[in-house]
Structure 1
Amino acid sequence: MRIHLIAVGERMPAWVNAAYAEYANRLPAECSLNLKEIPAVKRGKNADLARIAETEGARMLEAIPKDCLVVALDEKGRSFSTAELSRRLDDWMHSGRDLALLVGGPEGLTDACRARADLVWSLSPLTFPHPLVRVILAEQVYRAWSLLRGHPYHRE
């Protein structure tokens, strides 16, 4: 299964790219994590943020590969323990379909992105900077996979 992390924003700080790559590179081909960056629309002083979010959301939806399961990351979504996420990952891996994870920009995801999702997932009730979400997602996917495979990375 390929996991497509579709995220708004390019040119992340070096520490974000390094941390993301650290976990993404640990994952095997059976659960590969691939980043698709969606260019952020420029935000000026009097920017129409709703229009910007709609534009970015439409670009995200266009980037979803055909026949993917879609999971939208949103603070109002469902939260999972590590064990629950690991079971979900196992189900996704056995579904025969790839997975797309949607991470919005500063304005979050649009209603259209959430409506397209098969699941809306919350990493936390806290709000995280969207670059940091990439790192957290990569680490959590690796942790869930390692739990499935009995790897000692995750400890109870």
Structure 2
Amino acid sequence: MIKIIAGGKKNAGWVAEACAEYEKRLRKPFDVSWNFMSEEKLDKYLAEWPFSGREYVICCDERGENISSPEFSAKLEKAFGVGQEVVILIGGAYGFSDTVREKADFVWSFSRLVYPHGIARVVCIEQIYRASQILSGGPYHHE
């Protein structure tokens, strides 16, 4: 299971539709659940760092590491292989504090560009689907 915790408002119609298209293709352990919080609530939630270490926490931030799709799929495979639940954090308009980035297991940058929340959510779910296809040998990803 992959839990995505996103700051900001719930998805606009086109974002929800795009995310739903990828979600319906996903199978365990790549199935996802979304938790939307206001930016203020997300900041408070993360200040208490509610993760126990049984989770592999990925923080999406433009200051993170830019990796390839196969490298991302390998990170997910490794986490699932040791029984960790994957938690992906997508921040609000002001991103994450240094403390949150330091506590995360991996800080992932989609690119050096900054994306609006909706596009970041679609990119995230598409990359999860792509990772599932890479690991299953599906036809979606081409090298």
**Aligned position for 2:42:** 56
1:83 aligns with 2:70: yes
**Aligned position for 1:31:** 30
Alignment of 1:37-48 (within 5 A): 37-41=36-40
Structure with bigger gyration radius: 1
Separation in structure 1 between the aligned mates of residue 8 and residue 141 of structure 2, nearest angstrom: 30
Aligned-pair identity (%):
35
User: In the alignment, is the contact (CA less than 8 A) between 1:73 and 1:120 conserved in 2?
Assistant: yes
The one-letter amino acid paired with 1:95 is V
The one-letter amino acid paired with 1:35 is W
The one-letter amino acid paired with 1:17 is A
The one-letter amino acid paired with 2:45 is R
* 1:95-123 CA-partner distances (Å, limit 9, x unpaired): 20101111110011122321220111111
Separation in structure 2 between the aligned mates of residue 125 and residue 112 of structure 1, nearest angstrom: 21
1:106 aligns with 2:105: no
**TM-score under structure 2 normalisation?**
0.90
User: In the alignment, is the contact (CA less than 8 A) between 1:64 and 1:100 conserved in 2?
Assistant: no
Q: Any stretches of 5+ residues in structure 2 without a counterpart?
A: none
Instruction: Name the Cα RMSD after superposition.
Output: 1.8
User: In the alignment, is the contact (CA less than 8 A) between 2:61 and 2:95 conserved in 1?
Assistant: yes
Separation in structure 2 between the aligned mates of residue 22 and residue 89 of structure 1, nearest angstrom: 21
Separation in structure 1 between the aligned mates of residue 27 and residue 35 of structure 2, nearest angstrom: 18
**Aligned position for 1:68:** 55
User: In the alignment, is the contact (CA less than 8 A) between 2:22 and 2:125 conserved in 1?
Assistant: yes
Q: Any stretches of 5+ residues in structure 1 without a counterpart?
A: 42-54
1:142 aligns with 2:141: no
Instruction: Tell me the SS of whatever aligns to 2:39.
Output: coil
**TM-score under structure 1 normalisation?**
0.83
The one-letter amino acid paired with 1:57 is D
**Aligned position for 1:133:** 120
1:93 aligns with 2:80: yes
Superposition misfits of 4+ residues, deviation over 6 angstroms: none
* 1:18-50 CA-partner distances (Å, limit 9, x unpaired): 111111221102221111111234xxxxxxxxx
**Aligned position for 2:108:** 121
Give the paired residue count: 142
